[in-house]
Structure 1
Amino acid sequence: MSDTANGRFMYFAFGSNLLKERLQLANPSARFCSTGRLKDYELNFGLWEKHVDNTWHGGVATIESCPGAEVWGVIWTLSKDNLCSLDKQEGVNLGMYSPLEVLVETDKGLVLCRTYQMNNFHACPPSPQYKQVVCLGAEQNGLPVDYLKRLEAIQTNNYCGPSILDQIKPVMK
């Protein structure tokens, strides 16, 4: 299931990039490959610096090692031409996230994927808009109902101003 031979790479998304329209804002080559489960990690929301302002106005998703836990997400295949734009979106150049290679379980076996883990994690609840994008993406791609319920139960910071969601809504079908 590896696409590396034809100039593409596999990317495991678990946060706002679960939503196709969000991912394709900066990475138009993204194509759905599969849903999958990352074992021994848990999903958390936070900031890479304690008092940093970000475009989502709250905590954003990251994964943390946690034996026995699991994170569901989407495996996208992207053109290697989008590797720089994906890294930029994840703030690799600013030290916000570091790329990580993980083995993701799918119904067709294990898939080696690129994903991202936040540096200097500080817990912080997400904005309602960020949570909405994560939940929409989980629903859009058919993640398990139990996992969707866990996402929907996440507490937010009640932010109610403009956000990236305003850019995504017009492109959603």
Structure 2
Amino acid sequence: MDSGALSNDGDSFLYFGFASNLLRARIHIGTPTAELVGPAKLEGYRLCFQVYPGWSVKESLWNGAPASIIESPQGHVWGAVWRLHKSDLANLDPPESSYKAFDVTVTSPEGMEYVCRTYQMMNGQEEELPSPYYMKVITEGAVESGLPKTYVEFLRSIKHNGQTNPPDIMNEIFK
């Protein structure tokens, strides 16, 4: 593996986005230097939607539970690998203290391995349903980022909470 091309270097780093940051318009809101490298798969995890204990929909950016990943020996999660300038790191870090950043190794459809930063909710969070607006952004991002059609169909099959109020961020994404 050519670490200069496939992992973090002096001025930039790789990020594995598996939720709303699959969509270019969404990731560019806070991280304008993001350049799509391509789709990749993370083995040994599954996608989930979690909330803090005592959480309410009113507290959510998306009017529903945000995505996370949890270890699952037989699972996998598809996402997008983005190259970002280190100046964008502070804007990428979630403001919620219940997330932790860590590095994962993901594999492209062509077999290339990438070492990327990603985020996971801390343990002890409850699984809940995402909003239909959040799922719209995730699925549109999955298509835009070139994720496999079977995974896009899996994302479209995820039940949502039926919220009818679009979150404010939708106006920013779909200007």
Give yes or no for contact 1:46–1:58 (8 Å, CA) kept in 2: no
DSSP-derived class of the 2:174 partner = helix
Question: Which of 113, 117, 123 matches 1:114?
Answer: 117
Residue 169 of structure 1, aligned match among 166, 171, 174: 174
Q: CA deviation at 1:4?
A: 3.3
Deviation string, structure 1 residues 92-120 (Cα, Å, up to 9, x no partner): xx312100110001124211000000123
Deviations 1:70-96 (A, max 9, x none): 100000000000011101xx22xx312
The answer to whether the aligner puts 1:155 opposite 2:170 as a matched pair is no
Give the match's secondary structure for 2:147: coil
2:43 alignment counterpart = 39
Q: Give the one of 47, 64, 67 matched to 1:58.
A: 64
Confirm or deny: 8 A CA contact 2:22 2:142 kept in the other structure. yes
Partner AA of 1:134 in structure 2: I
| 1:29 correspondence with 2:33 | yes
Q: Structure 1: any 5+ residue segments left out of the alignment?
A: none
CA RMSD of aligned residues (A): 1.3
1:166 deviation in Å?
1.9
Q: Distance in 2 between matches of 1:102 and 1:3?
A: 10
Query: Structure 1 residues 108, 7: closer, same or farther in 2, change over 3 A?
Result: farther
| Residue in structure 2 matched with residue 71 of structure 1 by the alignment | 77
User: What TM-score, normalized to structure 2?
Assistant: 0.90
> For residue 80 of structure 1, what is the aligned residue in structure 2?
86
Q: Size of the alignment, in residue pairs?
A: 166
**For the Cα contact (< 8 Å) 2:7–2:116, is it kept in 1?**
no
Structure 2 letter corresponding to 1:29: T
Tell me, which stretches of 5 or more residues in structure 2 are unaligned?
Answer: none
Task: Provide the rounded CA distance (Å) in 2 between the counterparts of 1:155 and 1:55.
Answer: 18
The answer to whether the 8 Å contact 2:36/2:82 transfers is yes
